[in-house]
Amino acid sequence: MRRTRIMRAGLAVLLLLGAGAAAGTVPATAGEKAPASAGLLSAMQRDFGLSRQQAEARLAAERRATALEPKVQRTAGTSYGGSWFDAAKGTLTVAVTPDASATALREIRATGATVRTVTHSARELVATQARIDKVSAPDAVSSWHVDVKANTVVVNIVSGRQADNDVRKFVARARQAGPVTVREVAAAPTTFAAGTVGGDPYYTGNVRCSIGFSVYGGFITAGHCDQHTGSVYGWDRSYIGNFQGSSFPDNDYAWVNVGSGWWTVPVVLGWGTVSDQLVRGSNVAPVGSSICRSGSTSHWHCGTVLAMNETVNYSQGAVYQMTKTSVCAEPGDSGGSFISGDQAQGVTSGGWGNCSSGGETWFQPVNEILNRYGLTLHTA
């Protein structure tokens, strides 16, 4: 039964997420730059209010910005203040401090990027966040991150809780660490694991989660999904493998080995909303880029990268170096795939809200997981 169902999905499974609802994969020639699928373009038109041509242009511009970002960072050197994708202009904006050299400014502008002068370097802001990371945060403090557009560290406080004594003390200590701005958010973050239900999940202990990405020898997912029972079971309750490593809190990542008739494929499920997406790498998409998420509860949704390296204050403890997005998620989506174009970005950790009323979601970046466990992403 297991093999029959997977084959019927046309190998368009990402291990455990493979299900009868899957659409076919998009064939591609080895070495070919993958064109955007019709389904992906439709999803972007729906979620961003774009025409097909605008969606194609945005994806192309985001690919250029992703490739450009590490180059302009090297050029700016110590004057680098961060960078982000400007969707309205379709270009990368690069922040630099006033001490940037004329040569560096000329070279950055020559790439087509926009230059903005800021007070604080990225190095200063990262150091400020690191100092705040050492301060114990009350539960009304949702998260904190470097906001390169605002050139400050933003501390997010749950609505109506700014006057709490413990919050005021935390904010006062945070301001001593460096440039800090306080913002109000709707709710505190929670993880998106769920109790065991039917569908297209993987199961461990009494929890259902979603797979992230195939790696050679297994797959990666969220660390909070590890119930320390060892065994992992697929959608049909057949044994797949065991957790080989996990971390939560501090981090939110894990990996599971694969055997017993299961295999890995470089695919993220589109759940019939879009064509299943081939994974071709893990280049990091800049802030402002479009990004989509696949999960076993709410399936396929898209949004925008809002912030990187954010510290998220869950009730179980803080998790560091997370990426925040405007994509919604729901219980059971934990561990699922975040992908930008054909580039793997990370695995779903938690957030607030749902896919009816909206919300925000954080993911653990994929490259950190690969480096931590010495894994190799399975790519097309």
The CB-side HSE value for 136 (13 A sphere, CA atoms) comes to 2
Residue in 280, 219, 288 with CA at minimum distance from that of residue 37:
280
Tokens at 108, concatenated = 């950055």
Which is the catalytic residue, given 224, 299, 301, 378?
Answer: 224
Which is the catalytic residue, given 37, 334, 340, 349?
Answer: 334
Q: Residue 46: CB partners within 8 Å, gap ≥ 6?
A: none
334 is an active site residue: yes
| Letter string b/e over residues 329-347, b meaning 16 or more CB atoms within 10 A of that residue's CB | bbbbbbbbbbbbbbbbbbb
DSSP class of residue 34 equals P
Query: Is residue 350 within 8 Å of residue 311, measured between CB atoms?
Result: no
Residue in 42, 149, 35, 22 with CA at minimum distance from that of residue 92:
149
Which is the catalytic residue, given 147, 200, 226, 252?
Answer: 252
51 is an active site residue: no
164 is an active site residue: no
Query: Maximum CA pair distance of the chain?
Result: 66
Tokens at 285, concatenated = 């998409």
DSSP class of residue 16 equals G
User: Would you please indicate which residues are annotated as catalytic (active-site) residues?
Assistant: 224, 252, 334
